[in-house]
């Protein structure tokens, strides 16, 4: 290593002396003191199966760093798991923990003045947080994908966490029993890793590779397989090379790289949450890109290339066997930005030159896709002037119109479902759950899962400014912008108002006279913070709209 490392302090200074004393006590030699110092950012936790294997992964990364001539320092962060952390406060801690992670990493890596970092990404919020931190700090960085969990079988039928997720709705309508749900729970998760479907976690793993922030071939990957472990070791070796080359995230995270990621996201029908997260990465890195406009632009040319559950019959392991993200990108190669650079130091064009796809695969071609595109659309109209997101798929009506039933919380909506008050033809509005209003984009996903479990998913529409899961399906419109707390029209919808969703026209409109809507908006009281102390109060005070990725910014 010939370059001057920022971590090598001038001898005789106070920070050199006190750090030397600390690190000598940890067993570092004089030679170690001069090597590249790499943070291994580990969100290991015993609270969730998503993270339970990451200590083993961290050890492999550290071995790779040492072999390549660096010194690893493992640092721990918060570990938000949607199905565990979401239990408290109606899921309000989930999105805020993404940004808590970003700041946690900044403190650990910038405070210690390290030279680079490898981030171990697992559940939904970790991969976007790791990319956001990398974009903000702009130090050599890459992500290691923690992988997806193995699932089991019950009565010779495959069972995964999505089946458990939706079973509550079946229970509410008498379609199942507590005993059967307990049986599902026994077999749904059979190994460490994230939910085994095209939910937000696997989507963001794929996005991390598509945007260039993982080693090529990283996602999706089985958490229980040898390939993931090999990638972890290789990542440890590679980060030392990135420090030597001074290859930084903002060299990688270009507008073209984001366009590539959105193209891949459309091709796999990724979770709608990918948009807010990718926009947040762009905001942290100062990248001039609007991912919502990219959906509009690329949706017209990108078909659905693979239909992985919940989008179709395919399973995430089928996509891995077919070559994963690289195979999807190879199919999309004619429309990708080939000059975009990856953490490997190679361009997308050079990486894809080595990719071969078998003829019999779950990944379709541009001429013979799994389904026509687009798989995700932005709807705009009088109910969502700044846009709302809808994932398309089979079974959805081109036009849905119905009377609204308005709820201010997921809990109230679930109670109404349990009482049999939600019936076909209704438009269910869950509001006041956005980034600021929630705060933290409070959950609406449990309600949507219960609706699907109750077999109402195609018979009603659900519209929300709250949090949806990548596993949600049905006639569901999420991330309505502006949210209710920011004066969006969703905040003045009344029971009985009619809403129309026109997919072909990309419209979502409140069928109330414009003068009346304006009267209602003007009568709304100014939003007042609902949180008086703690992390959620700080988040509510600082969070920006989801059009800006929901990042945190100081008040001007």
Distances (CA, A) of 16 to 1, 27, 32, 115: 20, 16, 14, 16
The half-sphere exposure of 112 on its side-chain side, counting CA atoms within 13 A, is 22
Burial 113-126 (b: 16+ CB within 10 A, else e): ebbbbbbbbbbbbb
3-state secondary structure 177-189: CHHHHHHHHHHCC
Element at 461 (helix H, strand E) = strand 461-464
Q: How would DSSP label each residue in 513-544?
A: -HHHHHHHHHHSPPP--S--SSHHHHHHHHBP
| CATH fold group of domain 35-150+191-354 | Rossmann fold (3.40.50)
Structure tokens at 185: 């729970």
How far is 122 from 62, CA to CA, in rounded Å?
Answer: 18
Q: What is the CATH number of domain 376-548?
A: 3.50.30.80
Answer yes or no: 494 catalytic: no
How far is 507 from 379, CA to CA, in rounded Å?
Answer: 5
How far is 91 from 444, CA to CA, in rounded Å?
Answer: 9
On the 0-12 / 13-18 / 19+ scale of CB atoms within 10 A, 63 is middle
Residue 473 has a pLDDT of 82
Residue 1 has a pLDDT of 44
In the DSSP assignment, the letter for residue 380 is B
3-state secondary structure 295-340: HHHHHCCCCECCCECCCCCECHHHHHHCCHHHHHHHHHHHHCCCCC
Per-residue pLDDT of the chain (556 residues; tens, 9 = 90+): 457 899 999 999 999 999 999 999 999 999 999 999 999 999 999 999 999 999 999 999 999 999 999 999 999 999 999 999 989 998 899 999 999 999 999 999 999 999 999 999 999 999 999 999 999 999 999 999 999 999 999 999 999 998 998 888 888 778 899 999 999 999 999 999 999 999 999 999 999 999 999 999 999 999 988 999 999 999 999 999 999 999 999 999 999 999 999 999 999 999 999 999 999 999 999 999 999 999 999 999 999 999 999 899 999 999 999 999 999 999 999 999 999 999 999 999 999 999 999 877 899 999 999 999 999 999 999 999 999 999 997 668 899 999 999 999 999 999 999 999 999 999 999 999 999 999 999 989 889 988 988 889 889 999 999 988 877 788 999 999 999 999 999 999 999 999 999 999 999 999 999 999 999 999 999 999 989 999 999 999 999 999 999 999 998 7
How far from chain centre, in Å, is Cα 506? Answer: 24
How far is 532 from 37, CA to CA, in rounded Å?
Answer: 40
Pick the catalytic residue from 43, 78, 469, 526: 469
Residue 484 has a pLDDT of 97
How far is 538 from 120, CA to CA, in rounded Å?
Answer: 27
CB 36, CB 71: distance < 8 Å: yes
Structure tokens at 387: 């846009």
Residues for the chain: how many in total?
A: 556
Residue 2 has a pLDDT of 57
Rounded to two decimals, the pTM is 0.96
Residue 394 has a pLDDT of 63
Backbone angles phi and psi of 478, in degrees to 5: -120, 170
């Amino acid at each position: 290593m010939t370059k001057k490392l920022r971590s090598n302090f001038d001898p005789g200074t106070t920070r050199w002396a006190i750090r030397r004393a600390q690190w000598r006590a940890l067993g570092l030699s004089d030679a170690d003191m001069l090597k590249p110092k790499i943070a291994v950012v580990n969100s290991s936790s015993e609270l969730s199966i998503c993270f339970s294997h990451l200590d083993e992964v961290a050890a492999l990364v550290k071995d790779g760093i040492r072999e390549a001539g660096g010194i690893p320092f493992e640092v721990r962060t918060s570990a938000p798991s949607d199905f565990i952390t979401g239990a408290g406060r109606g899921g309000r801690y989930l999105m805020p923990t993404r940004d808590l992670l970003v700041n946690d990493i900044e403190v650990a890596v910038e405070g210690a003045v390290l030279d680079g970092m490898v981030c171990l990404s697992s559940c939904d919020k970790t991969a976007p947080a790791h990319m956001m931190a990398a974009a903000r700090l702009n130090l050599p960085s890459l992500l290691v994908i923690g992988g997806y969990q193995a699932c089991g079988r019950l009565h010779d039928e495959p069972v995964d966490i999505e089946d458990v997720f939706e079973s509550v709705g079946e229970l509410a309508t008498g379609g199942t029993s507590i005993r059967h749900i307990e049986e599902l729970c026994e077999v749904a998760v059979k190994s460490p890793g994230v939910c085994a479907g095209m939910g937000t976690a696997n989507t963001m793993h794929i996005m991390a590779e598509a945007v260039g922030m993982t080693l090529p071939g990283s996602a999706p990957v089985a958490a229980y397989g040898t390939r993931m472990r090999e990638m972890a070791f290789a990542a440890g070796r590679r980060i030392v090379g990135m420090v030597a080359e001074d290859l930084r995230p903002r060299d990688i995270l270009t507008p073209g790289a984001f366009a590539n990621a959105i193209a891949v996201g459309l091709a796999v029908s990724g979770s709608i949450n990918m948009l807010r997260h990718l926009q947040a990465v762009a905001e942290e890195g100062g990248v001039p890109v609007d991912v919502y406009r990219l959906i509009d632009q690329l949706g017209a040319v990108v078909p659905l290339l693979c239909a992985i559950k919940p989008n179709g019959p395919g399973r995430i392991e089928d996509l891995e066997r077919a070559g994963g993200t690289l195979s999807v990108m190879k199919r999309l190669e004619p429309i990708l930005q080939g000059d975009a650079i990856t953490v490997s130091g190679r361009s997308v064009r050079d990486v894809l030159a080595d990719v071969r796809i078998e003829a019999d695969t779950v990944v379709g071609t541009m001429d013979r896709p799994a389904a026509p595109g687009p798989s995700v659309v932005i709807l705009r109209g009088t109910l969502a002037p700044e846009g709302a997101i809808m994932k398309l798929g089979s079974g959805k009506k081109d036009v849905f119109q119905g009377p609204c039933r308005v709820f201010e919380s997921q809990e109230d909506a679930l109670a109404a479902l349990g009482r049999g008050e939600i019936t076909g033809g209704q438009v269910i509005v869950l509001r006041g759950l956005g980034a600021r209003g929630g705060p933290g984009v409070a959950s609406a996903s449990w309600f949507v899962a219960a609706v699907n479990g109750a077999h109402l998913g195609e018979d009603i529409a659900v519209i929300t400014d709250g949090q949806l899961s990548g596993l949600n399906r049905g006639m569901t419109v999420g991330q309505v912008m502006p949210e209710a707390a920011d004066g969006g029209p969703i905040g003045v919808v009344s029971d009985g108002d009619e809403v129309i969703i026109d997919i072909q026209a990309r419209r979502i409109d409140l069928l109330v006279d414009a003068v009346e809507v304006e009267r209602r908006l003007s009568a709304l009281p100014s939003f007042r913070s609902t949180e008086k102390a703690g992390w959620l109060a700080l988040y509510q005070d600082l969070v920006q709209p989801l059009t800006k990725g929901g990042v945190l910014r100081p008040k001007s």
